[in-house]
Amino acid sequence: MRLAAVLLLLLGTLLGLGAPQHNDPFLWLGSLRSRGYPLGSLQADNTGGECPAECDCPPTFPVAMYCDNRGMKSVPFVPSRMKYVYLQHNQITAVPDDAFANATNLVWLMLHENHIASVGKKAFAKMASLDRLYLNHNNLSKVPANLPSSLRDLRLEHNNITKVPPSAFAGMDNLTILLLNDNSFQDMGAALKGLSSLTLLDVSGNQLKKVPEGLPEMLHQLYLESNAIDSIPNNFLGHFTQLQYVRMAHNQLTDKGIPANVFNVSGLVELDLSFNKLERIPTVSTTLEHLYLQANQIKEFSLGSFCSVVDVMNFSKLKVLRLDGNEISLQDVPTESALCLRMAAEIAV
């Protein structure tokens, strides 16, 4: 991608580029360790209760069990008092039905970065308080069955999931974060239906041919990049109330697949349509702040895509506009743009 020119229309401050990062789940438990708490020297003890020899169970925080990075090949016994269990970064290959038979009080269960290829149908079924389940970076070929409906944060990215059953997330009224990116599924059926609290959905890096059905109304961030989506349904963004970030880079979108005004909705802050096959700049709302269109086949700069021709006083709030790697140059940007795009700190063509 060649950056031919960067036109500075107005020198403004570049505010809040990009979406917020996923929060760090290890906030205070993590700080317990980084403050030099001597976890390594603790063994099973008389004050905190039993603890597998390979793990650390700090007596001052007897509901947590640290077993990460120990080269473990299977899940150790988890005492029933445990709420926070860290098993990430080991070599665990399976989670049998009885792996957590006594651990029904779990709130956080970290199993990411293992080699898990199989999960028993009852493995997580009895965990009525489970809030966070991290199974990302494993070798799963399907979404585990009977996941607790109490989950708020479910991470399954970087596995080899080829199928998402319709009932995979059934009853998860409180699910807020669902990460399924970098797997191998082609569609999701109606699996997302009823996820009334979902705010972040990442299904990028799969083989989706269309936008998933029944996208939850409360979504705030929707990541669909690196799939094979060639069109967008009519009124695609019409029913969302909180949506701010839509990322669809690296798909197969053409002008034909984009209904008129589908992106002309207020509320959206960032729209990424880079690395597609667009020939025109789609109409966007004057409230949009970041628009990424680089590496398409855009042939003309249409000011009407950003501002009303009738009401030039209704300025666009666009701060960043990327148009590099298209078939236009700086000369194609009309001088009137300076008024309409007065907030733009950066326009790259």
Ligand X SMILES: *[C@@H]1O[C@H](CO)[C@@H](O)[C@H](O)[C@H]1NC(C)=O
Q: Which residues are at the interface with ligand X (CB under 6 A)?
A: 80, 102, 115, 117, 139, 141, 149-150, 160, 162, 171, 173-174, 261, 264, 266, 283, 285-286, 304, 308, 311, 314
Q: How far is the CB of 111 from ligand X (least distance, A)?
A: 14
Query: 146 with 170: CB under 8 angstroms?
Result: no
Q: Which of 232, 173, 180 is nearest to 206 (CA)?
A: 180
Q: How far is the CB of 337 from ligand X (least distance, A)?
A: 15
Query: 249 with 275: CB under 8 angstroms?
Result: yes
Q: Which is nearer to ligand X, 141 or 235 (CB)?
A: 141
Q: Which is nearer to ligand X, 162 or 231 (CB)?
A: 162
**Cβ-based neighbours of 248, under 8 Å, separated by 6 or more:** 224, 225, 229, 272, 273, 276
Q: Which is nearer to ligand X, 37 or 150 (CB)?
A: 150
Q: Which is nearer to ligand X, 209 or 317 (CB)?
A: 317
Helix (H), strand (E) at residue 109:
strand 108-110
**CA distances, 57 to each of 18, 27, 52, 157 (Å):** 39, 18, 9, 28
Q: How far is the CB of 44 from ligand X (least distance, A)?
A: 13
Q: How far is the CB of 135 from ligand X (least distance, A)?
A: 14
Q: Which of 265, 277, 202 is nearest to 237 (CA)?
A: 265
Q: How far is the CB of 1 from ligand X (least distance, A)?
A: 28
Please state the φ and ψ torsions of residue 51, each to the nearest 5 degrees.
-150, 130
Q: How far is the CB of 3 from ligand X (least distance, A)?
A: 28
* Residues linked to residue 64 through DSSP beta bridges, in sequence order: 84
User: DSSP secondary structure string, 123-186?
Assistant: TTTT-TT--EEE--SS--SBPPSS--TT-SEEE--SS---B--TTTTTT-TT--EEE--SS--S
**Separation CA 101–CA 147 (nearest Å):** 15
Q: Which is nearer to ligand X, 146 or 308 (CB)?
A: 308
**Separation CA 178–CA 203 (nearest Å):** 9
Q: How far is the CB of 203 from ligand X (least distance, A)?
A: 17
Q: Which is nearer to ligand X, 56 or 131 (CB)?
A: 131
Q: Which is nearer to ligand X, 174 or 254 (CB)?
A: 174
